[in-house]
């Protein structure tokens, strides 16, 4: 076929059309069957001779827009949308010539349209580049602001610690020394001062922790630790809290466990925070279970409560500072909203992972895993 | 240190449109701790001037010139965050940099904006083809210490002049720096009409001007 066509068109013309041209070229039978294409047409449309009719390549080709109509006026160009295999369709200006028994179809790209598209793409690329830079600069500024915020938070918390400590000490002193000579109302006032001071102290301590963590001043002091003793020690403050609410603390742990490198005080803090949170969301008479699982690669701590659980919409809020979930504390306990945030940061610093599973109405399990190998 | 060989390799990859290989070269320089300004002057500026010349003498197509520019802009974005890594002494000064209206070549202005950042300035880059009114409103809003105008194509000098007239009308005492390849064929004379308007011929000269 190519040889016949070469004869008819002339060898040089055919070579140009076949090899060089940026023109779609089709040799069609009178019914539109594609008998021959040039390389450009084949590569652009993915169409091989003998497979399809020309009409199949054109988007929205309908009967009234027939090949007869297209070939009637060879001088007229027809704008046709051509299917481009897996790419987006593209518009070409087509001319049709009859060279009995064949129809020759030449399609050219709209150079003006291409150029304007290219310019538009360039402009969009420039705008995208500029926006990326603006975003990068804003991010840097935000990071700097965050650092300054942490420094301020750290300084403010540090300066507040001393007066709060004094209020706490003197209120404890008053409670111990002269509460017998007070009436009930006065004792209530003093208890409120004491509880509020304790809460403020906890808040300030948490602020300092968060500020230190976010400022990157959070060095782990890793030393071999007896995990069973660590577990017992960290649960001490929780036992008192649980007893006050009539909640049972159940511990499931192996009898012995080899020493593992951890920052004991920080893991203790994380564990205390998680258990404290579980107690706060548990009803009197229920059980909070703390499970320790050890294997040669991981250390797993699991804290399970039988509280009201967390609704799915609140899951994202759990580890965000000051975000309160809808789950209510059963005895109206106050919290800083930072306990879980700090626990998570400590676990992450140990290259660990924390996971939460909760079923509303049935309770919540928070499990954290610490890797023991690099 | 950017050796002649490394520069030639980079230029040839740039002309081939090999974005990834160009990024690799730039990343290597950055990893070796090259000064950002050196990268700007001895690699980006030098290669862009070379490509501009090839385009002017019809050795490469306009499409290729645009491809080179797009790749270089991408590379500028790659290293842009590093501008802020060093603890720079902030000068508490602001500059607004804009291309003249109808000027679509923005990369020179963008590099100038980065040189200001490297010198502790807060730079606001408005981009290509900034309408004059938009530029005036931005200047009014940001109240910069300096305005920089970039123009790359000689035929856009009348647009630059319109921009200068508008700035002078609204901000009589605002200092203006003007730069760009448009002036390689002359045209600096028009700047004499504007007090407080100065021409800077290169990133090096800009650096010296603002550092001094």
Interchain pair A133, B106: CB under 8 A: no
Please report the pLDDT score of residue A322 as a whole number. 67
**In this predicted structure, what is the pLDDT of residue A64?**
58
Block residue for tokens 């994380």: A270
Q: How many CA atoms lie within 13 A of A138 on its CB side?
A: 6
Average pLDDT over residues B5-32: 95
The CATH number of A223-371, from 3.30.565.10, 3.20.20.70, 1.20.120.80, 3.40.50.2300, is 3.30.565.10
Q: Measured between alpha carbons, how far is residue B203 from residues A44, B51, B187, B200 in Å? A: 45, 17, 19, 8
Question: Mean pLDDT across the stretch B190-205?
Answer: 93
Distance from B125 to chain A by nearest Cα, in Å?
8
Q: Is A189 helix (H, G, I), strand (E, B) or coil?
A: helix
What is the rounded distance in angstroms from the CA atom of residue B168 to the CA atom of residue B196? 10
Q: Give A320 to chain B, closest Cα distance, Å.
A: 27
- Alpha-carbon gap, residue A365 to A277, rounded angstroms: 11
Helices (H), A33-110: 39-45, 54-57, 67-72
Q: pLDDT-derived band of residue A337, with 50, 70 and 90 as boundaries?
A: confident
Does any CB of chain B come closer than 8 Å to the CB of residue A20?
A: no
Domain layout of chain B by residue ranges? 4-84, 94-211
Would you call A133 and B80 a contact, using CB atoms and an 8 Å cutoff? yes
Residue A87 has what DSSP assignment? E
Touching check for A147 and chain B: CB below 8 Å? Answer: no
When pLDDT is cut at 50, 70 and 90, the band that residue B56 belongs to is confident
What sign does the dihedral B144-B148-B149-B150 (CA atoms) show? negative
Q: Which of B73, B84, B104 sits opposite A140 (nearest CB)?
A: B84
Q: What does the pLDDT read at residue A143?
A: 87
The 10s digit of each residue's pLDDT in A294-316 is 888 889 999 999 998 888 888 88
A118 and B66 within 8 Å at the Cβ level: the answer is yes
* pLDDT at residue A208 in the model: 80
Between strands A78-84 and A87-99, the pairing is antiparallel
* pLDDT number for residue A47: 86
Which of A126, A132, A139 lies nearest to residue B128, judging by beta carbons?
A126
The reported pLDDT for the residue numbered A335 is 67
A6-23 residue pLDDT tens: 677 777 887 888 876 788
Mean pLDDT of all residues in B115-143: 94
CA distances from A286 to A240, A283, A290, B23 (A): 15, 6, 13, 61
Cα–Cα distance between B71 and B20 in angstroms, integer?
Answer: 9
Contact residues, chain B to chain A, C-beta under 8 Å: 63, 66, 70, 73-74, 76-77, 80-81, 84, 104, 106, 110, 125, 127-128
- H/E segment holding residue A73: none
**Fold assignment, B4-84:** 1.10.1240
Report how far residue A32's alpha carbon sits from residue A56's, in angstroms, rounded to the nearest whole number: 9
In A, which residues are within 8 Å of B106 by CB distance? 126, 130
Predicted ipTM of the assembly: 0.79
Residue A6 CA to residue A343 CA, distance in Å, equals 79
Distance from CA of A218 to the nearest CA of B (A): 21
Give A179-229 pLDDT, tens digit per residue: 788 888 988 899 889 888 888 888 888 878 777 777 766 778 889 999 999
Q: What is the pLDDT of residue A205?
A: 82
Q: Chain A: nearest CA to B77, how far in angstroms?
A: 6
Chain B partners of A126 at a C-beta cutoff of 8 Å?
Answer: 73, 104, 106, 127-128
Tokens in use for B45? Answer: 């500026």
Q: Which residue has the higher pLDDT, B200 or A121?
A: B200
- Distance separating alpha carbons of residues A80 and A60, to the nearest angstrom: 9
Confidence of residue A333 (pLDDT cuts 50, 70, 90): low
Residue-level pLDDT at A22: 80
Asked: is B94-211 a CATH 3.40.50.280 domain? The reply is yes
Chain B closest CA to A149's CA: distance in Å? 18
| Residue that has been written with the tokens 């990343």 in this structure | B27
Residue range A45-59, pLDDT digits in tens:
988 888 888 988 988
Pick the residue with more confidence: B185 or B98?
B98
C-beta separation of A26 from A37 below 8 A:
yes
Which of the pair, B41 or A64, is modelled with greater confidence? B41
What integer best gives the mean pLDDT of chain A? 85
Q: Across all residues in chain B, what is the average pLDDT?
A: 92
pLDDT at A266 over 90: no
Q: Please indicate whether, in this complex, the C-beta atoms of B81 and A127 are within 8 angstroms of each other.
A: no
Question: Which pLDDT band holds residue A325 (cuts at 50, 70, 90)?
Answer: low
A126 to B66: CB separation less than 8 angstroms, yes or no? no
Inter-chain touch B80–A130, beta carbons under 8 Å: no
Task: Name the 3-class secondary structure at A175.
Answer: helix
What CATH class does A2-109 carry?
A: alpha beta
What does the pLDDT read at residue A330? 65
For tokens 């010539």, the residue is: A97
């Amino acid at each position: 076929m190519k040889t016949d066509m070469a004869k008819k068109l002339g060898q040089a013309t055919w070579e140009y059309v076949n090899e060089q041209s940026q023109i779609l070229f089709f040799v069609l039978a009178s019914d539109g069957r594609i008998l021959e294409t040039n390389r450009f047409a084949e590569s652009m449309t993915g169409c091989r001779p003998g497979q399809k009719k020309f009409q199949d390549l054109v988007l929205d080709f309908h009967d009234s827009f027939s090949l007869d109509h297209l070939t009637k006026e060879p001088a007229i160009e027809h704008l046709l949308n051509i299917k481009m295999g897996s790419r987006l369709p593209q518009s070409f200006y087509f001319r049709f010539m009859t060279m009995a028994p064949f129809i020759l179809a030449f399609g050219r790209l709209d150079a003006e349209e291409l150029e304007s598209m290219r310019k538009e793409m360039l402009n969009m690329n420039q705008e995208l580049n500029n926006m990326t830079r603006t975003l990068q600069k804003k991010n840097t500024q935000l990071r700097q602001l965050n650092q300054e915020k942490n420094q301020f938070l750290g300084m403010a918390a540090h300066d507040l610690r001393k007066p709060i400590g004094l209020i706490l000490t003197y209120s404890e002193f008053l409670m111990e020394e002269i509460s017998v000579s007070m009436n009930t109302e006065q004792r209530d006032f003093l208890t409120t001062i004491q509880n509020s001071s304790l809460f403020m102290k906890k808040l300030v301590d948490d602020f300092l922790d968060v500020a230190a963590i976010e400022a990157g001043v959070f060095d782990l002091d890793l030393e071999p630790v007896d995990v069973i003793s660590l577990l017992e020690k960290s649960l001490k403050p929780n036992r008192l809290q649980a007893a006050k609410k009539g909640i049972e603390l159940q511990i499931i742990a192996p009898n012995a466990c080899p020493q593992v490198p951890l920052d004991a005080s920080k893991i203790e803090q994380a564990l205390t925070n998680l258990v404290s949170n579980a107690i706060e969301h548990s009803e009197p008479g229920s059980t909070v279970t703390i499970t320790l699982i050890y294997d040669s690669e991981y250390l797993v701590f699991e804290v399970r409560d039988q509280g009201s659980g967390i609704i799915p919409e609140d899951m994202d809020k759990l580890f965000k500072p000051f975000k309160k979930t809808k789950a209510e504390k059963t005895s109206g306990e106050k919290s800083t909203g930072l306990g879980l945030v700090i626990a998570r940061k400590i676990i992450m610093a140990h290259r660990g992972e924390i996971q939460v599973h909760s079923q509303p109405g049935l309770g919540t399990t928070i499990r954290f895993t610490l890797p023991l190998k690099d | 240190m950017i050796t002649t060989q490394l520069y030639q390799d980079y230029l040839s990859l740039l002309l081939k449109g090999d974005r990834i290989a160009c990024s690799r070269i730039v990343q290597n320089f950055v990893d070796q701790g090259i000064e950002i300004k050196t990268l700007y002057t001895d690699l980006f500026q030098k290669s862009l001037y070379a490509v501009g010349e090839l385009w002017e003498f019809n050795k490469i197509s306009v499409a290729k010139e645009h491809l080179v520019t797009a790749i270089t802009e991408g590379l500028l974005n790659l290293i842009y965050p590093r501008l802020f890594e060093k603890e720079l002494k902030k000068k508490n000064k602001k500059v607004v940099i804009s291309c003249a209206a109808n000027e679509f070549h923005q990369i020179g202005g963008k590099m100038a904006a980065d040189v200001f950042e490297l010198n502790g300035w807060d730079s606001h880059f408005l981009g290509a083809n900034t309408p004059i009114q938009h530029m005036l409103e931005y200047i009014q809003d940001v109240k910069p210490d300096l305005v920089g105008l970039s123009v790359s194509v000689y035929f856009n000098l009348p647009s630059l002049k319109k921009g200068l007239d508008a700035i002078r009308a609204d901000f009589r005492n605002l200092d203006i720096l003007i730069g760009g390849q448009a002036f390689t064929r002359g045209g600096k004379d028009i700047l004499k009409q504007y007090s407080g308007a100065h021409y800077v011929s290169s990133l090096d000269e800009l650096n010296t001007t603002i550092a001094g």
